[in-house]
Amino acid sequence: MKFLLIIIVLFSTIINIYSQEKKVLTVGYELSSPFVVKSNGKLHGPSVWLWEKVAEENNISYKYLELSFKDLLKGLNDRTIDIALSPLTITSKRSQKMDFSTPYYIAHSSILQKDISALESSLKFISAFFSMNFFRALGVLTIIILIFGFLVWIFERKANHEEFGDGIKGIWNGFWWSAVTMTTVGYGDKSPKTVGGRIIALLWMFTAIIVISGLTASISSSLTIYKSDSANSTIQSFKTKTIGTIKNSGTDEWLKRNFYTNKKTFNKISELLEALDKGIIKAIAYDRPILQTVMTADKSGKYSLLDIKYYPQFYAMAMNKDLPEELKYNINLKILSNIEKMDWKVLLSEYDFD
C-alpha cells in the first residue's frame, strides 16, 4: 500500500511537470515601432527577436495576442495573458501588479514638435525684433534727439542762420544735426558755432554713448527672449505649454510627478500626431526610440525631434505574478545571455537607435 502511494505521488508529479512544460503561454503585444512591428502578417523588431530567442532556448510554447496598451496592462493584472512582449517601463506602481524581466534596453523620454518653415521662423524673428520694448526705446530715443536738437537750435538760429534757420525748418535741422551726431556719421553739413551750442553738442556726444548702449541692450533683450522661447532646449521649456503623451505610460507618470499640469493623454501615437497637427497640443512627450520611428516615417519634414533627453527608462518584458518562479528565472537568464551577444547590438544598429 505504501509502495502504491509513492508510485501515485511520483506519477502525479511527473504529469504536473509535463503539463507545465507543455503549457502554451499567451504573449500579448501592442504594435509599438520599432520594438514590435508587423509586416506581411509577421511580427518583427528587437523585442520580438529577443522573445523568440528566449522561447526557443527555454523550449516554451506560446501564442501571440494583439491588444491595445490599456488591455495589455489589464491582461497582466487579471492574469488573462502571461507575458507582455511590448517594452514596458519598469515603475514601482506597475511592479505591485506584475513582475518584470531583467531590463534589455535603456530609453529616454524626448520631445517631438511640429517643424516651422523658414518663412514662419523669419516672421517670428522680425516680430521679436520689433517688440514693444523696442518701440518704447525708439520713442524715448526720438524724444531725446529732439530735445538736444531743439537746444542747439535755440543757440544757433541767429548766429548760424544759414545752417539751422527759423521755425519748423530750423527745428528739423536741429533734429537732423542731433541724429547725425548721435550715430557718429559726421556729414559735417551742420555744426554749432556758438559757445552755448558747442557746450550742448559736447553734452550730447557723451549722452549719446549711454543712449545707444541702452537701445542696444533693449534690442538684445528682445532677441534673447525670442531665442530662449524658440530654442526649447530643456523639458522645463514646455512646463507652461500643452503637451501630449500616451495614457498610463512611464512618461505620463513622470509628467504627473513633476507637475506638468498642461498635459493631455491619448491612447495611440497616431492620436498624438493628429492632435499635434491640429494644434490641440504644442508638442509630444514620449519615449525617444518611438519618436525616432515617427521621424523616419516623416518624409515631408513636418516634425522635428528635439535634442532633449530626460527620464531614463528601463525597458523589460512584463509577466503576470502567477508564472512559476523557475520559468521567470530561466527567461531572465536567456534575456541576459542574448543581449550580451553581438547579434543584439547589430540588430539595434539596424533599427537606428541612438
The residue with cell 518584470 is: 100
What is the DSSP track for 170-189?
HHHHHHHHHHHHHTT----S
- Say yes or no: 164 and 221 in one domain: yes
The reply to whether 105 falls in a domain is: no
- Provide the grid cell at 144: 531725446
CATH number at residue 238: 3.40.190.10
Of the candidates 204, 231, 258, which is a domain's last residue? 231
More confident residue, 104 or 259: 104
Range of the domain at 250: 234-305
Tell me the per-residue pLDDT of 287-334, one tens digit each, with 9 for 90 and over.
999 999 999 889 888 999 998 999 999 999 999 999 999 999 999 999
Of the candidates 231, 264, 279, which is a domain's last residue? 231
The residue with cell 556726444 is: 205
Report d(CA 326, CA 314) in Å as an integer.
23
- Say yes or no: 220 and 242 in one domain: no
Number of structural domains, the chain?
3
- pLDDT at residue 182, rounded to an integer: 86
Judged by DSSP in three states, 84 sits in: strand
- Say yes or no: 152 and 92 in one domain: no
Tell me the per-residue pLDDT of 137-155, one tens digit each, with 9 for 90 and over.
788 888 989 999 899 889 8
Tell me the per-residue pLDDT of 332-345, one tens digit each, with 9 for 90 and over.
999 999 999 999 99
Torsional class of 306: left (φ above 0), alpha (ψ -120 to 50), beta (otherwise): beta
